[in-house]
Structure 1
Amino acid sequence: MTARKPAPPADAVAADAHWASKLAKLRARTRPTVTLTICDDDDLKRAAATARFLEQQAKDTAETNPDDKAAQAAATAAAERLAAAQADLDEAAVQLRFQALPRNEFRELLAAHPPTEEQAGKGYDYNPDTMAPILIAAASLDPLTEEDAAAFLAEWSQAEGDALVSAALRVQQADRMDLGKD
């Protein structure tokens, strides 16, 4: 037996003629995603940051002097240098992508990894030691396994491991809504 989709209340449709369109958009939403970019080449990161700064300066100068052909040319050249520096950085970097789990899956994961007594005393709602590699693998849009995640967490520095866990956890808490006033 196929479940019927109930029709929206007639008064709601009358109050908002575009309800069907809104509902379609709500049903078509995708879960939030975040990207963690990893690059070990500090020179490339500095070059891209410098190019970004110089491009913004040149752009600002060009905007305040629209008739200055030299300023316009400098802005164009700075944009090209930024594009090249960013391309070099992108080539050297590794990007890991994470997507929020469906709400019930995330809650089940939290429940499956209760905090130790010590962790609960520190305010933890879950055991990060046991949950982190599983969450990282489950949230990853790349073929990242629990074993890979556990190895990275064991081998990388504390800060880098924390950034990996944070990316997988942060996307679970991503909020793309705005509660406005009428």
Structure 2
Amino acid sequence: MTARKTTATPPAAAVAVDAHWAATRARLQALTRPVLKLTICDDEDAKRAATTARYVEQQAKNAAELDPEDQAAQAAHQAAAAALADAQAALDAVSIPLRFQALDRKTYKALLAAHPPTEEQAEEGYDFNLDTLGPVLIAASSLDGITEEDAQTYLDTWATAEATKLLDTAFGVQRAERMDLGKG
């Protein structure tokens, strides 16, 4: 899924007030929807090795920064950085990354409306039926081709924490913010 792009000409009044408006508008129209990645790895040894390598590299970096003239500290940092790169590559090789992209607002709202809460869920304050919406949202927002059937299988068979994380990622990307209401 890609973001819709339009090529309308900016209003002349806006361009007259702000000469940069056309460029700003073009950048806004070129924005893509947010993407979140969920990485799954069941190789505890690879995760532990990467964590240890990250710690060793940080310690070596700190030592190297304390004394930039210390050649041994600099060499130790370089060796630790190389070991971290190797450990990260090994972790990446055994990991499964899943990517999810936010749906456009109308599609997301339509999905929510198509999955109204049960009476019990409504009483608990839910605006939608998580049981029916979950697999549909996971499939709709997946950039990796997860089907509704795949999603339902994962939600039914994975450990509760892992299934919850999968759901949280599919819902979380819908609420991802890339804005900052900075000082004017």
Q: Distance in 2 between matches of 1:4 and 1:31?
A: 18
1:177 equivalent among 176, 179, 182: 179
Q: Provide runs of 4+ in structure 1 moved above 3 Å.
A: 3-7
2:91 equivalent among 89, 96, 104: 89
The alignment yields a C-alpha RMSD, in angstroms, of 1.5
Structure 2 counterpart of 1:128? 130
How many Å apart are 1:9 and its aligned residue? 4.2
- After the TM superposition, which residues 110-121 of structure 1 pair with which residues of structure 2 at under 5 Å, given as runs? 110-121=112-123
Structure 1 counterpart of 2:156? 154
- After the TM superposition, which residues 65-104 of structure 1 pair with which residues of structure 2 at under 5 Å, given as runs? 65-104=67-106
Structure 2 counterpart of 1:35? 37
**Any gaps of 5 or more consecutive residues in structure 2?**
1-5
Q: Distance in 2 between matches of 1:40 and 1:31?
A: 30
Aligned residues: 179
**Greater displacement, 45-54 / 13-22:** 13-22
How many Å apart are 1:4 and its aligned residue? 9.1
Q: Distance in 2 between matches of 1:119 and 1:61?
A: 55
Structure 2 counterpart of 1:51? 53
Equivalent residues of 2:10, 2:25 under 8 A apart? no
How many Å apart are 1:6 and its aligned residue? 5.3
Equivalent residues of 2:135, 2:149 under 8 A apart? yes
How many Å apart are 1:14 and its aligned residue? 2.8
After TM superposition, the score normalised by the length of structure 1 is 0.94
After TM superposition, the score normalised by the length of structure 2 is 0.93
Identical aligned pairs, as a percentage?
60
Structure 1 counterpart of 2:11? 8
Structure 2 counterpart of 1:17? 19
